[in-house]
A and B are shown apart, each in its own frame.
Chain A
């Protein structure tokens, strides 16, 4: 436990030190409370940048963190001691009763969250790709350039801080770092309210957000939504100092924070237009943009240089690259947007605020009173808050899940507080109700049993009295496979899975079906073997003229991807194998070779809906006297392929259809061939859930597939490919 606290404390302390040094360097003089809060948030952006630089050169190590961090903390502490900031002298202190309510509520909920964060990290995404990425960076002391997964392409501004924490204290330290953002958020809101002359509204709003179940479970885990909310709110908070500080320095800091929002996650890009809109100095916005570029630019540059797509894994149509495809990108985005079908429109807000059964996460029942926040439109500050809330709510349209509303909650809660402030007794009653209704014990009475929330206070696990393995086995079903995986799979070995797994603990490369082009290919290979080899062959007979290349193009359009399994070529002496051929395609030129590899289970795919004019081609090093060309492709979609031949340099001519015929291919059992292709790609193991496509067939026909079952638990099977 000491190590965990040290890891988190050092990370937070180092960030605060860096933030304090920046504020001093820019001569931004704030009172003590504002200094501490903003130093933490601003410093975390700087620390993230510093660790990014270390990761880029492969020197992100605990020794360097300590060697650089201790002097920085010491120096910053000495400067603080020499010239401490003044205590706040703001008027409008809230009544004692409100202060008592706030600090009691704050203490209760922060204790619950702290203990949950201290326990071993067992959240789905936290133990999955968030800390999985951190683990890889820890092992390689920098970015894992050879590891390809869409989740590794996301900006990882917060994972930079997690890396420092994990290096020094383990996974729970990372969760505690996120909890530090959660603790800062209501305090920032309280300071904001004090400066705006809305002390009670802000204290109440801070408690509404702090007690919100989805905020709590997210903030006590190695996620990043609460951090995004805190940093985006801090950017708004900085505008409170417009009368006290020089504008260009303040705008630079705001830009830095807005850029850090982008560095935390892509949806954080909204911080920039909001910050620009709030800024009353249009010409000085260059400082804001400069700060933003400093903070966000490295992530864009990293992806551009690494992947050829600055915003990977998105916008692959605009930035074609071999690491992710437009079609799976569309499917992924569509899946994220998929909300459960509600029979009536009012069921959605009720589920979001109360049950959390269909929309993952619960905001808390009082947020059903959100329409009352419209009363805040009467005030200038209310309009600003509501606009910010509306802007930050936009990502929730594209991502089902209550956590995507977390960045909007502070602004919405403040607007609600402003609206309820003049209704005597309403605000404290609402706050007290939210505090009671969002306690884990009360939530258990009305929330859906499977809803994502904090269920208990794992004191034993937090203080190390319960073994970590036992705790994780009770929370993460897949953790039960760790022993078998450690025994069976060599270090660096690959396991294919359709679903994400707790990569942070399994410590092997999990190739997930939808996360990478390799995963998509493996998924496609298994699907081919499973669906019974339904394909057709288009064949053209040629006169044996000297041909420099062949091109097969589509003449139809459709919703499905066009795939070509094999293109085979014969001359007068028999089939000609590809040797020295230059292969290409449009789109997806990087996998054009799959159409010529001689394997019936691998196929070139457009990986986006079929359009007219897509093609795959082979250019020969020397002219060949081709007599026959056969193209095997899936029966659907029917692309009515057109064969073209290159008779001279760059001169392509179409082969008339009268030379073509179409025939069906006799289905073959491709199961074992599929597994051979997986082995050829270094995948020797499978983790298959009962709900996965090949689950039943793998279980019933394991001999035909050539797999043997190693272990089975909780509806998941672990196979070895023989």
Chain B
């Protein structure tokens, strides 16, 4: 009976994970591009890698950026390809949570569901922050740490190594996970009190994993900037992203084959540049308002003369 119960609950958990992944895939495909995602594309994904090595930007979450660049390179530019790291993070996160609750007879399913929903919600309100990927890697590290503490002799050192690698990659994904990663490492040390394997397998591995991704971009930062980055809470955006697909379609129709200047507010310029690259609109010259232009994309619904509204969305208008 117990074996049957365990087997069926195992199957239910995998079904739940599959369902959450499916929801996640649907969301990344359906949700319109957000301002922060477009900013990340314009400043970190589109430029060549060499440009990223030459400066420090606190918004550049290095591992996330590297994965986005690879995904865009393989899958071509789209909102989906930019969100591949988030989906990868979701898969890792759910796998790690499932591993952590594997011994729970009751509540494990609910834990997975709640964790998955929380992850998706976090990605919704903080897109392109790499929080999800960092959290997923941190949770993987926690899962490997649990496996090590449970005393699986055969995989003992392997699990410790994986703790270190995951913690390092978590910091590389979002440097704000420096303190949580150090905390987890310290907890592991206090639980095991075995210095040498802890140093060799966890600390060194974590340091090297993070170092390889972060050393070049971070070498341009001051110590104060790095401390601020490590301590800075994640920035959440409570405003739902505006779906500009209709506006973009109208703009493309109006400007087909022509070279036009398009002025937009500072928040919308990266979004337009994303769609320009997405649809290869070489004739668009996107500038920030104020400034003379052929078209204006404004986030204020009230348009006055001499502007004529071409497309009106929920929060933005296209005018000329």
Task: Report which A residues bind B (CB closer than 8 A).
Answer: 344, 346, 350, 354-355, 365, 368-369, 372, 375, 419-420, 422-426, 429-430, 433, 437, 442, 444-446
Contacts and interface: CB of A to CB of B under 8 A. Distances in A.
A425 B219 contact: no
A425 B51 CA distance: 28
B208 A355 contact: no
A423 B54 contact: no
A426 B219 contact: no
A444 B49 CA distance: 12
B211 A375 contact: no
B50 A423 contact: no
30 contacts: A344-B222, A346-B223, A354-B215, A365-B215, A365-B216, A365-B219, A368-B211, A369-B211, A372-B204, A372-B207, A375-B199, A375-B204, A419-B204, A423-B161, A423-B164, A423-B201, A423-B204, A423-B205, A423-B208, A425-B161, A426-B205, A426-B209, A429-B209, A430-B208, A433-B212, A442-B53, A445-B50, A445-B53, A446-B50, A446-B53
Contacts of B199: 375
B200 A423 contact: yes
Contacts of B207: 369, 372
B165 A446 contact: no
A354 B216 contact: yes
A420 B208 CA distance: 9
B205 A445 contact: no
The 9 closest A-B pairs by CB, nearest first: A445-B50, A423-B204, A446-B53, A424-B161, A445-B53, A426-B208, A422-B200, A354-B219, A433-B212
Given A344-B223, A425-B165, A430-B212, A442 B204 contact: no
Contacts of A369: 207-208, 211
B204 A420 contact: yes
B182 interface: no
B205 A425 contact: yes
Contacts of A424: 157-158, 161, 201, 205
Contacts of A365: 215-216, 219
Given A344-B222, A346-B223, A446 B54 contact: yes
A426 B212 CA distance: 10
Given A429-B209, A442-B50, 10 more contacts: A350-B219, A355-B219, A365-B215, A365-B216, A375-B199, A423-B200, A424-B158, A425-B165, A426-B209, A429-B212
Contacts of B208: 369, 420, 423, 426, 429-430
A534 B157 CA distance: 78
Interface in B71-110: none
A380 B164 CA distance: 27
A53 to B, nearest CB: 50
Decide if the interface of chain A is mainly helix, strand, loop or mixed: helix
Most B CB atoms within 10 A — which of A344, A368, A422, A437?
A: A422
A426 B49 CA distance: 23
Contacts of A444: 50
Contacts of A420: 204, 208
Contacts of B219: 350, 354-355, 365, 446
Most interface-central of A354, A375, A423, A442 (chain B CB within 10 A): A423
Contacts of B157: 424
Given A344-B223, A444-B50, A445-B51, A437 B211 contact: no
Nearest to B211: A369
Contact of B216 (A419, A430, A446): A446
Contacts of B211: 368-369
A298 to B, nearest CB: 46
A422 B201 CA distance: 7
Contact of A437 (B164, B201, B209, B216): B216
Contacts of B223: 344, 346
Contacts of A442: 50, 53
Nearest to A441: B50
A442 B216 CA distance: 11
Most-contacted residue by chain A among B161, B201, B208 (CB, 10 A): B208
A446 B158 CA distance: 35
A368 B215 contact: yes
Nearest to A433: B212
Contacts of A422: 200-201
Contacts of B200: 375, 422-423
Interface in B189-208: 199-201, 204-205, 207-208
A650 to B, nearest CB: 68
Contacts of A372: 204, 207
B201 to A, nearest CB: 6
Contacts of A429: 208-209, 212
Contacts of B216: 354, 365, 437, 446
A648 to B, nearest CB: 74
A419 B208 CA distance: 12
> Which of B54, B215, B222 is most buried by chain A, counting CB atoms within 10 A of its CB?
B215
A687 B207 CA distance: 52
Interface string B153-186: 0000110010011000000000000000000000
A429 B164 CA distance: 14
Interface string B201-237: 1001101110110011001001100000000000000
A198 to B, nearest CB: 15
Contacts of A445: 49-51, 53-54
Contacts of A344: 222-223
A543 B219 CA distance: 76
